[in-house]
Structure 1
Amino acid sequence: MISCNKKKSGEVKLASAYEFTLYQSDLESVMPKKISKSDSIIFVQNYINHWLQERTLIHFSKSNIDDDELHLDKQIEDYKNSLLIYSYQKKFIEQKLDTLIYDKEIEDYYNAHNQDFQLKDNIVKVAFLKMDKRSKNLKEARKLLKEFNESNKNKISDLAERYADNYFLDNNAWILFDDLLKEIPIQTYNQEEFLRNNTFVELTDSLYTTFVKISGFKTKESVSPLSFEYERIRMIILSKRKQELLKKLEADIFKEAQESGSTHIY
């Protein structure tokens, strides 16, 4: 917000709070263009009220904090310098960072650090079909999903698209078991025990019958599979590249400054 504490000769005063004064020209500089008369009245009222509250807070803040506690000039200078460095580093990274990461690099990182990738939740490989309980295709759906494999994948996909209210058939993908439970109301008090003892589940409520085929699972605190951590590892590698790039940038800039005689110790 505008300070508005300097006297302006001939200016129209709109409001004041302690040592601060809000002038007509200050308001005009922030007034939105192409605003209706009714909206402009509301804007002015809100602006003035906010200005008064803010100026009052500034006055009491200045009155209750000693100058030697503030060090405002130094804080402002430090902030400006930090912002300047950040902006330059951001621009440099955007221009120089190599974002291409090959699968081999991700696999190598995973193999070297796989103990760092312990699961915090249970995960599953699963396929499911949720269908109207009155559907004439329930028997076929049950049989196909129980035998779900690459050879009948197209057939079950066609059935799902035509008759299922909801379905998931990518049983090569790891998903959180908790996310599955959001879609399917499986009642279990011990997830690990349930997963160890069930590979096919059939649930029926007042409207739907749901078939669930669990083709794999990993429990929390076991090592997370690579495919589940793929994107996380990619971001880790990118972050390391950024840090290395910035470290080299600082070293190169400092070396250039020294060699050109631009730095001195007195």
Structure 2
Amino acid sequence: MLFLKKNKAVPIAMAGLMLLASCDSLFREKVEKEPLARVGEQFLYKEDMAPLIHPDMTEQDSALFVTNYINNWASKQLLLSKSRINLPEEKLAEFDRLVSDYKADLYTRAYVEALVFKDQDTAISTTQLRQYYEKEKENFKLNEKLVQLRFIGMPAQFLDKDEVVSRMKNWEDIDRNYLDSIAMQFKKIHFNDSIWVSASRVMEEIPPLNPLNEEDYLKKSQFFEIQDSLEVYLGKVTDVLEINDIAPFEYISPDIKQLILNRRRMDYIRRLETEIIDEAIQKNEFEVYGKDE
């Protein structure tokens, strides 16, 4: 029996040697994966660990990390093996189904999110936001107090405090310009008293304020001076909204935008699911058996 190659006869023994050499090469490629540990028929290979070793690790840290990883891997493999032996068949089947469903969810969710990111319209005008706000404003009641205020934090030994107090109260253009000119001397400043800020955020910025005393200081038209051991805080509250008041449009508009985007996203996903099923039916890729005609 002869094998023909380029019109030359090759003895079968020689062909066998060539085949064995080829197989030996293939086997060597598999053996080249350097095992680090084995549990039963499961192997942990060096190449599996390589991506987990950070370049900034010291040799001692990486050795400790590898040892801990191998031990954790072995424990999981041994427990998994024993669980498959000792758990009831129906429980194993249930877990396998859950794993399969979770895997499918991961793939489909990633694919759908990629499509949404690519195709979803994220442009929302101020008019659209305002229309939604006017329609749903009764649903936008505050769950915390909001304030509009300006404040300054300065060192406790600040020399011109009286001048700053006067300027903070008057708040004409000339006063604002003056305070801006010496702003580098302050620890903290907040001059934009037209924006709404939560009382909790104000208390973060002004530590001497707390839930026990904020009712005394955070009142409409209230000017306050409060201090701790390090700083003096001067503030002027221009307006206040209480819990259960309707949230102002400017404060709630970022949340409204997110609500609209979420609604668009859900509509897009529902439309996508319908279209993909319709397309599969038309291409005869999907059919349901046993349904009554």
TM band (smaller chain): 0.7 to 0.9
Q: After alignment, is 62-71 or 139-148 more displaced? A: 62-71
TM-score, normalized by length of structure 2?
0.74
Contact 1:110 1:233 in 2 (8 A): yes
Q: How far did 1:262 drift?
A: 3.5
Residues 190 and 222 of structure 1: CA distance in aligned 2, closer, same or farther (over 3 Å): farther
Contact 1:14 1:22 in 2 (8 A): no
- The one-letter amino acid paired with 1:30 is D
Higher relative contact order (CA 8 A, sep 6+): 1
Contact 2:222 2:236 in 1 (8 A): yes
Q: How far did 1:90 drift?
A: 1.1
What is the CA RMSD across the aligned residues, in angstroms? Answer: 3.1
1:19-38 aligned at under 5 Å gives the runs: 20=40, 26-32=44-50, 38=60
SS of residue in 1 equivalent to 2:122: coil
- The one-letter amino acid paired with 1:179 is R
Q: After alignment, is 106-115 or 150-159 more displaced? A: 150-159
For residue 255 of structure 2, the aligned residue among 212, 232, 238 is 232
TM-score, normalized by length of structure 1?
0.81
Does the alignment pair 1:78 with 2:96?
Answer: no
Does the alignment pair 1:156 with 2:179?
Answer: yes
For the pair shown, which has the larger CA radius of gyration, 1 or 2?
2
> In structure 2, how many angstroms separate the alpha carbons of the residues matched to 1:133 and 1:37?
51
Does the alignment pair 1:123 with 2:153?
Answer: no
Match for residue 241 of structure 1?
Answer: 264
Match for residue 53 of structure 1?
Answer: 75
Contact 2:34 2:47 in 1 (8 A): no
Q: How far did 1:257 drift?
A: 2.8
SS of residue in 1 equivalent to 2:187: strand
1:159-174 aligned at under 5 Å gives the runs: 159=182, 161-174=183-196
Contact 2:152 2:186 in 1 (8 A): yes
Does the alignment pair 1:211 with 2:229?
Answer: no
Q: How far did 1:230 drift?
A: 1.4
> In structure 2, how many angstroms separate the alpha carbons of the residues matched to 1:75 and 1:204?
58
Q: How far did 1:210 drift?
A: 1.9
SS of residue in 2 equivalent to 1:264: coil
> In structure 1, how many angstroms separate the alpha carbons of the residues matched to 2:97 and 2:211?
59
Deviation by residue 1:16-74 (Cα, 9 ceiling, x = unmatched) = 65xx2565xx3323242888765564344223322222123213322332121122443
- The one-letter amino acid paired with 2:122 is T
1:65-214 aligned at under 5 Å gives the runs: 65-71=87-93, 72-149=95-172, 152-159=175-182, 161-184=183-206, 185-186=208-209, 189=212, 191-192=214-215, 194-196=217-219, 199-214=222-237
Residues 118 and 149 of structure 1: CA distance in aligned 2, closer, same or farther (over 3 Å): farther
Q: How many residues were matched structurally?
A: 253
SS of residue in 2 equivalent to 1:135: coil
> In structure 2, how many angstroms separate the alpha carbons of the residues matched to 1:149 and 1:245?
51
Deviation by residue 1:106-156 (Cα, 9 ceiling, x = unmatched) = 111111111111111111001111223433321221111112255643332
Contact 1:15 1:21 in 2 (8 A): no
> In structure 1, how many angstroms separate the alpha carbons of the residues matched to 2:262 and 2:87?
41
SS of residue in 1 equivalent to 2:84: helix
Contact 2:220 2:239 in 1 (8 A): no
Q: How far did 1:158 drift?
A: 2.2
SS of residue in 1 equivalent to 2:238: strand
Contact 2:219 2:239 in 1 (8 A): no
* Structure 2 spans left out of the alignment, 5+ residues: 1-29
Contact 2:224 2:234 in 1 (8 A): yes
Contact 1:157 1:169 in 2 (8 A): no
Q: How far did 1:190 drift?
A: 6.4
Residues 152 and 65 of structure 1: CA distance in aligned 2, closer, same or farther (over 3 Å): same
